[in-house]
Amino acid sequence: MKGNLRGYGTVWYHPNGIANILSLNNVRKKYRVTFDSGNTEEQGLVVHKNDGSKRIFRPSRKGLYYSDVASDIGAIMVTTVDSNKAKYSVIQYSSAKKAHALQNVLGKPSTADFIKYVEGNMIPNCNVTREDILRAEDIFGPNLGSIKGKTTRRPTEHVNLTWKNVPEDVLEKYGDVTLAIDIMAINKIPFVITISRHIHFGTAELIHNKSKKRIMTSIQQVVRAYHARGFKVHNILGDGGFECVRNNLADIGITLNITSETNMYRRLKDTLKRSRKGLGL
């Protein structure tokens, strides 16, 4: 895969790799690079960064020059924005960027004040929500402009997330949920796929193996998601691969109905088709 290394540019990345190989020619185009061959603390290739700090690449026993970011003090300067961004969808990240930019335009108010402005309709034609503001702070951190000069420590306000309850008429009609479940592989990576009848709410979760414990854990997470909204999962439709968790499901009040693999795929396909049609896709 390809990734962007801040201050350098595009690098090749592998999740199981231990290093990124940088081109000295590309580094010198952006930063001043010096070489110290003496017996000093800066022995090796020294990259002088714009903020006045230095990144030193020292020779290994085999002669390759490297910088150990795991133990080097300079590692504390590595941004965590990319890792925080990965927790959200593309749309959520885009909305968070809008909230972050709007906060700067408004004179960098504190997060609490910014939320008050938005919820109080003090900003005309504002399409930023409270959730967007909170995501922006989680991804980019507190706005430095709103922190500077405020040396007195103040207790932070408790953030209350308000969830909209599911309408009673929906719970009356579809409160008892039947789930269709299957294990599908994408590029040989297994996922537990579920979709509910009538509601057409689908989930997909990566599993590292098809063990009984892992499958049951995945099902329990889906069931808790439904229970949190007032729905109750009473029946699960699956193929023979889920026979191993029948007793575990019975212990939590869920009946497992085993269907043939052909019927299982047909039901999932029909349910997904109806879901797309309802969403206008």
Q: Could you list the pLDDT tens digit for every one of the 281 residues in the chain?
A: 888 887 788 888 777 777 788 888 889 888 999 988 877 777 788 898 887 788 888 888 888 888 877 655 443 334 456 666 767 788 888 888 899 889 888 888 888 888 988 888 888 888 899 999 998 888 887 776 666 655 566 677 776 666 667 778 778 888 899 999 998 888 888 899 999 988 888 899 898 888 899 999 999 999 998 888 889 999 999 888 888 999 999 998 999 988 765 565 566 667 666 665 655 54
* Rounded Cα–Cα distance for residues 13 and 88 (Å): 21
> Given this model, what pLDDT does residue 77 score?
39
What angle, rounded to 10 degrees, do the helices at 130-140 and 111-119 form? 160
**What domains sit in the chain, N to C, each tagged with a CATH number?**
2-78 (no CATH), 82-147 (no CATH), 168-279 (3.30.420.10)
Answer for the pair 259, 238: CB distance below 8 angstroms, yes or no.
yes
- Tokens 């800066």 correspond to 42
> Given this model, what pLDDT does residue 274 score?
66
Structure tokens at 56: 């030193």
- Tokens 């969830």 correspond to 163
